[in-house]
Each structure stands twice: as structure tokens, then as C-alpha cells.
A = this chain, B = another copy of it.
């Protein structure tokens, strides 16, 4: 089955948590993990990807933690999910990472996957962090 994994779920929860505290002091990973009921050690790996994609920044040491790099209304679900899942491509032949596919000039099936990918992207890009909490 084609389903986003808990990577998408957990990273969205973490980003929503940070969005709610936007403008305040950094929040530690331990606090986010506890509040969102996610393994801290696993979330660590996901937030590393969010940082690599410039969605959060960190400060070390006591009182350290994470904050968003941008206002919550400027970060989309697509940004978050693409960072942690790696791609929004619903099929390998339309993934940037894995572009092996049929060699045909104009593959009709590939065109279909391109459309599916576009529609997924559109949905997720139009959803901002601010749309995910009230």
C-alpha cells in the first residue's frame, strides 16, 4: 500500500508543536517527544532532516532546543513531509532521486504519475502549519 509512514506523522506533529510556540524560547526535543508521545531518539533522526532542509534551527546546551526558521504560515506540509519522507513522488519513475523508468519518449503511464504527483504536491503545498492547529 502506498502510504506515508510515521515519519510524515511525527515530523508534522513536531513542527505543529514548534509552530504553536513560534516567537518564544527554543523547545527541547525531549519536551516535544514527550508531548507528542514519540520516541525521542527516533524523533532526533527526523528533526535532523528538518534541520538539513532549513525548516528548524537549533541551539545547544541547557536551555537549548529548536525553533522554526520561518513563520508557521510560510511552512507547508509539503516542506515538512518532503524533508522527512524524501520525496512526494507516488511512483519511482517520477522521483527525482530514482529516475529510472521506461525509456519510451512519451510514456503515457508516466504522464499519469506526473499528474498524480502534481495533485499531491498541490494539496500539501496549500496546507500551511497554521492550517493544522487553531
Contacts and interface: CB of A to CB of B under 8 A. Distances in A.
A20 B89 CA distance: 28
Contact of A91 (B9, B132, B134): B9
Interface stretch (A24-32, A38-46, A123-131): A123-131
A79 to B, nearest CB: 13
Interface residues of A, number: 34
Instruction: Say what secondary structure dominates the interface of chain A.
Output: helix
B2 A109 contact: no
B116 A3 contact: no
A85 B2 CA distance: 7
A65 interface: no
Nearest to A107: B132
Nearest to A77: B112
Contacts of A77: 112
B85 A112 contact: no
Contacts of A88: 2
16 contacts: A1-B85, A2-B8, A2-B85, A3-B87, A3-B89, A4-B91, A9-B91, A12-B109, A108-B133, A112-B123, A112-B124, A112-B127, A112-B132, A116-B123, A119-B119, A119-B122
